[in-house]
Structure 1
Amino acid sequence: MQISRARAATAAAFLTQGMVLLSLTTRLPDFQDQWHLSDVEISLILLMMILLAGAGSVVAETLAKRRDSALLLRVGLLVVAVSVAALCLAPSAAVYVAGVGAYGLGLGVVDASTNMQAVAIEHRYERPILPSFHGAWTLGGVFGAGLTFAMSHLPLEAAAVVAVVPLVVAFAPFLPRDHGPTELASKVAVPWRPIVLVGVAMVLFYMVDTAVQTWSPLFLEHEFDTPKRYFSLAALAYLLVSGAVRLAGDRLVARFGAVLVLRVGAVIGSAALAVVVFSPTWQVAVVGFAVLGGGVAVVAPLSFSAAAKIAGGDFAPAVRQARVDAVIARFNQFNYVGALLGSVMTGLVGAGSLRIGFAVPMVLVLGIVPLAAAFAPTVTSTVSARQPSAS
């Protein structure tokens, strides 16, 4: 019963993370207008947020050696709740920027600790369930984008209502760690080299994913005569198709294997971005974003599953979970490298035209094709995970 409740709680945390992030990014045109920010200034604010998210993930990695991921997740969710309320109700641009920075820090802690919880629960179930957790994140993103769509006629301050959700979820029954002897749980050797190839693939995914979440509303606004209430549709379409594919992800991978699924998805993703880049109307662009969501949907959950396997081994439960938590937190850094490429580089390269900005991930996402082989389970990965340290 405890594991079922923990699974539901962790799914709720994933859903909350997606909902909050998308409710904010699909509001970027509104924040930009309210504080009179240029595309370059928005890019720099996003850069700050992502760097602080990376710092939050580093904090999570450090604390995970001695503290529960459940505790880290609660703290991260509370930071997100306070910061979202602050940036939505900000009386000045400076307070808005400070709120975004605090949100970035909480984002990093929550990103790392939700995945720590997910891989620990997956280990208890002894079967793949990561795609469904990431599907919950996507469902939350759909709710967030839909909320923006529904509230587009309301004042920007009304968006602060989403802060209530992480505040409530912070008190959910997350999975506690079996600590065991303290001296064993605190001595965690984190392997690094074996996860680099998988990590690079995740960088490419988050480059695409963050570009869509951050810049697709502005793409519809700047490149077409799109009605304001439809700015969030690109991200919403991307998330809907991505969520559907993630829900079917376990069966797809079981039938065709991770390598083939990833390679076909990368090619589909590149073709979909070509549709976006050369789209003649905003409706065609939305279709391109939707197909893109289906192409790249399972890269992230398969990446975290692979990283968890690298951290595994025949260890006592307390040591194994401490190893997995620390590896997942460090592996999560690839998320932010991709986010930097997706949000900042897309904005800077596309300062003159976001069509050019989206042309960059259109080419780079094809890098997943050769990297997909790293997702096939090998004996080497297991052996490497047992080494004292490879960092």
Structure 2
Amino acid sequence: MTLPTPDRDSTPPTPTQRTARVSASVGFGLQGFFLAVLLTQLPQFKDKYGFDDTTIALVVVMASVIAGGGSVLAEYVATRTSSKTTLRAGLAVIAAAGLGIALSPGTVPFFVGFAVYGIGLGMVDAATNMQAVAIQRCYGRSILSSFHAVWSVGAITGALFVSLCEALDVSLLVSIALASLVVAGATAALGPRLLVTGSEAEAELEASSTPLVIPWRPFLALGTAMALFFAIDFSVGNWSALYLKDLLLSSSSTAALAVAAYQGAGLISRFTGDHWVRRHGEIAVVRVGATIAALGLVVVVFAHSPAVAIVGFLVVGLGAPVIAPLCFSAAGRLAPPEQTDAVIARLNLFNYAGTIIGGGVVGGIAAMTDLRVGFAVPLVFAVALIFLAPAFHPNRATTEPSQPDRVG
């Protein structure tokens, strides 16, 4: 069914567009949920397979590099079919990879499972944001932070799920298998209600032969900001649990609460982000958010108890998470609407540059010294984001309503 794009100022979204918004939000939530399930169980994987910190860092870096390939694949699939198809396929890959990781009998199958997960990770990261930018265009106002807020809800749920499984002595295999089944079931139920974008939409058929032209200077500035944010984000996601368990001597269930605190605060940041953007603009929101994140990381670096470190991660979450949706929102204005999916997929590659830094560099420093020194790296990145804030208000010449999108 073809839907007219609403007037940016007066026409409310249609029920079908609202349904697409809910479905895309669920996609964000599933991504956050499963990522948190895997990352907060890194200590358990470490114990099960006898890994050291360097091996865990290699697993994270491998998945991030392969996820970059998944993002490239997402661009290919989305521009030839739709971001709807891409997102459903990516979630299916994640669910299958999760089952493979859960059932892996040894180190090699474990690495293969994480490699397959990396492909799905890249596809879902790109496709969810393709959906979000397209739906935001239909709504005609800033709503992109709300999608990422649901990602935070999913991540909180995943971290608490792991903490509960630890408290109930549920096995690693069972907990990951259950999480995989949740992703598979929700994808089957809600996937058909996503927004159709890409070459399945009539407007994109003509655009498929038009070369993609991106203004590289603002694009690279946004990409740098994206990489710095995800370096901070994945430093927290990958290493906070190990920081609390290994350096501050907390229990596994308490260690998982570091991610929960970060994501809980991120939920507040992202649910209120659209309001603050409409009121104060992107530049001010990024500057304040980066400053808050830097203050929180100072607390983390100097923490000498699990409780203080958890408070520090909570403060980081109040500031940093709003930056990612603003990156995608700004990038969506850099190219014509019919080419937005390709721009989003390419910007998403910087996500994995950040995860390699957050997962690899921080882990490498931790292996040579400790995680206290390692967390000084994202502190520097948070300060750098303050100076990149002007990149979040690029030329708005391409913000006019899009050609019709379809839901079906």
TM superposition score category, shorter chain reference:
over 0.9
Alignment-derived partner of residue 20 in structure 2: 6
Displacement of 1:185 in angstroms is: 3.1
Displacement of 1:94 in angstroms is: 1.1
Which segments of structure 1 move beyond 6 Å, counting only runs of 4 or more?
380-383
Aligned pairs for 1:30-179 (under 5 A) are 30-152=44-166, 153-159=169-175, 160-171=177-188, 172=190, 173-177=193-197, 178-179=201-202
Displacement of 1:161 in angstroms is: 0.4
For this pair of structures, how many residues does the alignment match?
A: 375
For the structure 1 residues 21 and 190, does the alpha-carbon distance in structure 2 shift closer, same or farther, using more than 3 Å as the test? farther
Alignment-derived partner of residue 182 in structure 1: 205
Alignment-derived partner of residue 315 in structure 1: none
Aligned pairs for 1:201-280 (under 5 A) are 201-280=225-304
Displacement of 1:183 in angstroms is: 4.2
Displacement of 1:188 in angstroms is: 4.4
Unaligned runs of 5+ in 2: 1-14, 401-408
Q: Does 1:344 find its partner at 2:387?
A: no
Displacement of 1:192 in angstroms is: 4.9
Unaligned runs of 5+ in 1: 313-319, 384-391
Bigger mean CA offset, 359-368 vs 143-152: 359-368
Post-superposition CA distance 1:29-81 (Å, at most 9, x none): 00110010110011111111001100000111123222111111111111101
Q: Is the 8 A contact 2:241 2:252 kept in 1?
A: no
Q: Is the 8 A contact 2:363 2:374 kept in 1?
A: yes
Q: Is the 8 A contact 2:333 2:397 kept in 1?
A: no
Displacement of 1:231 in angstroms is: 1.3
Q: CA RMSD in A?
A: 1.6
> Aligned partner of 2:130: which letter?
M
> Aligned partner of 1:240: which letter?
G
Displacement of 1:377 in angstroms is: 4.1
For the residues of structure 2 that align with 1:258 and 1:147, how far apart are their CA atoms? 34
Bigger mean CA offset, 210-219 vs 168-177: 168-177
Q: Is the 8 A contact 1:65 1:188 kept in 2?
A: no
Q: Is the 8 A contact 2:71 2:345 kept in 1?
A: yes
Which SS does the other structure have where 1:170 is aligned?
helix
Displacement of 1:218 in angstroms is: 0.3
For the residues of structure 2 that align with 1:44 and 1:129, how far apart are their CA atoms? 36
> Could you state the TM-score of these two structures normalised by the residue count of structure 1?
0.93
Q: Does 1:300 find its partner at 2:324?
A: yes
Displacement of 1:190 in angstroms is: 4.0
Q: Is the 8 A contact 1:77 1:169 kept in 2?
A: no
Displacement of 1:365 in angstroms is: 1.6
Displacement of 1:256 in angstroms is: 2.1
